[in-house]
């Protein structure tokens, strides 16, 4: 039915409100599961490493903002091409979509290789640059080094998933991300802990600790990447490779990818740069604060990752609507997807507030870390619907190829609101002050994105594409 609705959209047929909502849900639900399984890997790593102690947990939390920065740049390299693929498919230009896809593979993988080399080169000094104590720097170095070395495979996994999603296939990436999550559990089980007795059975363990967690994640990404890429290039109905269609780099595709992707890359650099500055603000607060902050971020991700899933669905829907020149539906779909995101994340925030101690307690037995982590999670719960507005509306704007203004909005909210407030409030209120500053900024950001969605300027930009 989903394919029929997308086909009707591309063919210019009328879709009533119920059909529009149905199409959004059918695209969003698999995307939500994909995002949840992705954050599930982080939750699994945090939970398993948390059993080793707050020190080991803090070593991962120290470099997490840096991994976000690298991931953000990689995603920016993908976005400029995946949006074009969605628009080409919406216009019925499948051959052009395949051409853009192949160019995207070459560029995105090239970017990931450069970042792999850079990450490996700075891994030894990065923890000290971030203000980490000597007792956590060694583990943090190994964790980041393995992450960097596996980056090309992670990028291959993500670009294949993005292209499948752009074609309207949300189910396959969702299923494979779940498989990747399960593999992460298995690899971590054997790599993190020492050889031990489990229900009277001797189970081999490599006893690698934090390093084992990073290796487990890397191996699961590699397996998923191989399968995902084969499905895209061999089985995808609209995007599988044809022998007669050779790779040809075109100025038009590269220029449009740069127009869409460069603002996203700048945005991700700005945002993650702010996260790194945030790490510098939290680091002096001590090991318990670093660990609590890391666990709280991971737990909060379970709340906001559904928003990113709906945002991905919005990018596909808006991209295909614009490609099909369905400007009559584009604005309405933008509001429907954003409203759905706010509703879903609002409900998730309510659950997060109620179960905050349990969510942190799963990841660590340290009572002081659990208490502090639960407190900051409950602070964040009140602003999640506005966070959803910024996430999903940003997905809408990306589908329209309109990325410059949203990047500017993110820059203003992060650097003019969050960081100055965090620097002041954390001194007086510790980690709770840092999270209060974050919540104020997320409220401001949500309002800015809703005002942008309300205006018709992003629609005018889409008509130029």
The number of CA neighbours under 13 Å toward the Cβ of 6 is 27
Find the mean pLDDT for residues 209-229: 92
Residue 105: the pLDDT is: 93
pLDDT exceeds 80 at position 201 = yes
- Is the whole-model pTM more than 0.85? no
3-state secondary structure 44-113: HHHHHHHCCCHHHHHHHHHHHHHHHHHHHHHHHHHHHHHHHHHHHHHCCCHHHHHHHHHHHHHHHHHHHH
Helix (H, G, I), strand (E, B) or coil at 6: helix
**Nearest alpha carbon to residue 434 among 293, 295, 305:** 293
Selected residue with higher pLDDT from 54 and 251: 251
Residue 42: the pLDDT is: 67
Enter the DSSP assignment of 285. Answer: G
pLDDT digits (tens, 9 = 90+) for 282-314: 888 888 888 888 889 888 888 888 888 898 888
* Contacting residues for 96 by C-beta, under 8 A, at least 6 apart: 88
Confidence of residue 62 (pLDDT cuts 50, 70, 90): confident
Residue the block writes with tokens 């998933």? 161
**Nearest alpha carbon to residue 337 among 407, 393, 406, 409:** 393
Q: What's the chain's average pLDDT?
A: 87
Selected residue with higher pLDDT from 121 and 135: 121
> Are 270 and 411 contacting, i.e. CB atoms less than 8 angstroms apart?
yes
pLDDT exceeds 70 at position 462 = no
How far CA 203 is from CA of 196, 197, 199, 218, in Å, comes to: 5, 6, 10, 22
CA-based end-to-end distance of the chain: 29
Confidence of residue 464 (pLDDT cuts 50, 70, 90): low
Selected residue with higher pLDDT from 342 and 272: 342
pLDDT exceeds 80 at position 91 = yes
Residue the block writes with tokens 């609209």? 238
Bridge partners (DSSP) of residue 198 are 201
Distance CA 54, CA 58 (A): 6
* Contacting residues for 135 by C-beta, under 8 A, at least 6 apart: 55
Please state the domain count of the chain: 1
Token readout for 363 is 């990841």
Residue 460: the pLDDT is: 66
Selected residue with higher pLDDT from 230 and 362: 230
pLDDT digits (tens, 9 = 90+) for 321-335: 888 888 778 888 999
Alpha helices in 283-383 (DSSP H): 287-323, 327-361, 367-381
**Nearest alpha carbon to residue 218 among 139, 153, 159, 122:** 153
Highest mean pLDDT among 33-47, 264-278, 279-293: 279-293
Listed range (188-197, 429-438, 441-450) with the worst mean pLDDT: 188-197
pLDDT exceeds 80 at position 57 = no
pLDDT digits (tens, 9 = 90+) for 149-177: 999 999 999 999 999 988 888 889 888 98
How far CA 358 is from CA of 221, 362, 419, in Å, comes to: 28, 6, 29
Provide the domain limits for residue 220.
2-463
**Nearest alpha carbon to residue 111 among 80, 149, 77:** 77
Q: What share of the chain has pLDDT > 70, as a percent?
A: 96
Alpha helices in 167-286 (DSSP H): 171-191, 210-230, 251-282
């Amino acid at each position: 039915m989903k394919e029929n609705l997308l086909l009707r959209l591309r063919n210019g047929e009328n879709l009533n409100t119920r059909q529009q909502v149905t199409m959004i849900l059918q695209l969003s639900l698999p995307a939500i599961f994909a995002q949840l399984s992705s954050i599930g890997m982080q939750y699994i790593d945090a939970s398993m490493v948390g059993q080793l102690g707050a020190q080991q947990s803090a070593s991962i939390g120290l470099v997490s903002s840096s991994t976000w920065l690298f991931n953000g740049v990689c995603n920016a390299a993908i976005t400029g091409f995946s949006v074009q693929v969605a628009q080409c498919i919406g216009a019925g230009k499948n051959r052009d979509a395949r051409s853009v896809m192949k160019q995207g593979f070459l560029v995105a993988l090239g970017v990931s290789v450069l970042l792999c080399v850079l990450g490996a080169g700075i891994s030894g000094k990065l923890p000290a640059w971030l203000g980490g104590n000597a007792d956590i720097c060694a583990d943090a170095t190994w964790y980041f080094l393995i992450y960097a070395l596996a980056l090309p495979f992670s990028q291959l996994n993500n670009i294949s998933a993005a292209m499948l999603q752009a074609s309207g296939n949300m189910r396959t990436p969702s299923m494979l991300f779940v498989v990747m999550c399960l593999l992460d559990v298995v690899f971590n089980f054997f790599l993190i802990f020492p050889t031990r007795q489990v229900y009277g059975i001797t189970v081999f363990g490599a006893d690698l600790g934090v390093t084992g967690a990073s290796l487990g994640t890397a191996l699961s990404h590699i397996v998923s990447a191989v399968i995902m890429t084969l499905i895209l290039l061999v089985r995808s109905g609209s995007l599988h490779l044809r022998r007669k269609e050779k790779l040809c780099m075109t100025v038009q595709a590269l220029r449009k990818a740069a127009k869409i992707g460069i603002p996203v890359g700048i945005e991700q650099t700005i945002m993650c740069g702010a996260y790194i500055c945030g790490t510098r603000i939290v680091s002096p607060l001590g090991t318990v604060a670093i660990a609590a902050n890391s666990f709280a971020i991971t737990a909060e991700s379970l709340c906001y990752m559904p928003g990113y899933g709906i945002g991905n669905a919005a990018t596909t829907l808006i991209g295909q609507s614009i490609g099909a020149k369905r400007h009559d539906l584009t604005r309405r779909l933008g509001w429907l997807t954003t409203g759905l995101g706010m509703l879903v994340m609002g409900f998730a925030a309510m659950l997060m507030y109620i179960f905050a101690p349990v969510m942190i307690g799963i990841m660590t037995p340290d009572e002081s870390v659990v208490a502090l982590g639960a407190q900051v999670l409950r602070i964040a719960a009140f602003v999640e619907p506005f966070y959803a507005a910024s996430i999903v509306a940003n997905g809408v704007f990306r589908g329209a190829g309109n990325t410059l203004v949203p990047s500017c909005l993110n820059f203003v909210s992060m650097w003019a609101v969050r960081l100055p407030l965090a620097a002041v409030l954390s001194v007086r209120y510790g980690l709770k002050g840092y999270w209060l500053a974050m919540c104020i900024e997320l409220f401001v950001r949500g309002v800015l994105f809703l005002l942008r969605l309300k205006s018709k300027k992003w629609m005018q930009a889409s008509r130029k594409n």
